[in-house]
Amino acid sequence: MTQGNNPGGAMKKMILIVGLTASAMISGIAFSESDHQKSRHLVEQGDILPLQQILEHLGQERAGRVLEVELENKDDRYIYAIELLGEAGRVWEYEIDASTGEILDREQEE
């Protein structure tokens, strides 16, 4: 079966993280497979917090729908880069320290 005939085929290439609390108001998040594997290993090692915990904390600051999550390594520090669609239809970008959950930067896209 070709991917064109299988609408779920593209979804199998992405990891969906579901089941977050209602306060986070998130139904699913696309996370690249390499980021997913890397983050799982780092969480198991105790080096970073689980994404679910980060998103629950973020949901307390700003309600919305997560559009994209990336795990980045900047200056030997792991950072979750999170793009969020806020309730007013505006897109926000957050940088969150993956080890502590501290919000390092937030900005609204123009």
pLDDT tens string 34-74? 667 778 888 999 999 999 999 998 888 888 899 999 888 88
Count of beta carbons in the 10 Å neighbourhood of residue 82: 22
Kindly tell me if the per-residue pLDDT of 101 is higher than 50. Answer: yes
Q: What is the DSSP letter of 25?
A: T
Q: Which domains does the chain have, with CATH numbers?
A: 3-108 (3.10.450.40)
The counts of H helices and E strands in the chain are 3, 6
Count of beta carbons in the 10 Å neighbourhood of residue 59: 19
Which of 64, 76, 73 has the alpha carbon at shortest distance from 95? 73
Count of beta carbons in the 10 Å neighbourhood of residue 37: 12
| Average pLDDT across the chain, whole number | 73
More confident residue, 29 or 14: 29
